[in-house]
Amino acid sequence: MWRHRWEPADEQHRQAYGYRPRTVEHRQRVSLRPELGDGLLFTPANFHAVEPCPGQRRIAFALFLALTTTGQLIAWS
């Protein structure tokens, strides 16, 4: 995941699915290595990539999370 959110200028790097690596080549990056049973929660607003896991099963799902004005965490899809 990179410390970079989409900007209109990024469209020049768009490819069939996603963006070319040079879109984020000089941006700060963090790599996460989840282990079996781990779950990752992150904002998809930042550029991110998922490496293939050949021979293994990966489960992905998406939902919306928010804090209410009273501090309650709510989820919806």
CB 13 within 8 A of CB 20: yes
| 1 contacts: CB under 8 Å, gap ≥ 6 | 29, 30, 31, 32, 42, 46, 47, 48, 49
pTM: 0.73
Q: What is the pLDDT of residue 33?
A: 87
Q: How many domains does the chain have?
A: 1
- From the list 69, 12, 21, 16, the residue with the least C-alpha distance to 48 is 21
Q: What is the pLDDT of residue 61?
A: 85
For residue 68, the enclosing domain spans 1-77
CB 5 within 8 A of CB 45: yes
Point out the residues of the chain with pLDDT beneath 50.
Answer: none
Give residue for tokens 């700060």: 28
Q: What is the pLDDT of residue 58?
A: 82
